[in-house]
Amino acid sequence: MSTTVILFSILAVAAIGTGVSVIINKNPVASAMSLVLHFFALAGLYLTLNAQFLAAIQILVYAGAIMVLVVFVVMLLNLGKEDALTEKFNPRTGIAVAMGVLLITQFSIAFFGKPTGYNQLSDNAAHNGTAESIGMVLFSDYLFPFEAISLLLLAAIVGSILLAKKQNEPAK
Domain 1-80 in CATH 1.25.40.10? The answer is: no
**Among candidate residues 2, 70, 6, the one with its CA nearest the CA of residue 39:** 70
Q: Could you give the C-alpha distances from 171 to 83, 159, 165, 167, in angstroms and in order?
A: 40, 21, 12, 10
Of residues 120 and 54, the one with the higher pLDDT is 54
Each residue's pLDDT tens digit, 98-126: 999 999 999 888 888 877 766 676 777 66
Distance between CA atoms of 157 and 163, rounded to whole angstroms?
Answer: 10
DSSP at 133:
H
The confidence score (pLDDT) of residue 79 equals 58
**Rg (the chain; Cα; Å):** 22
Averaged pLDDT, 128-136:
80
Is the distance from CB of 51 to CB of 129 less than 8 angstroms?
Answer: yes
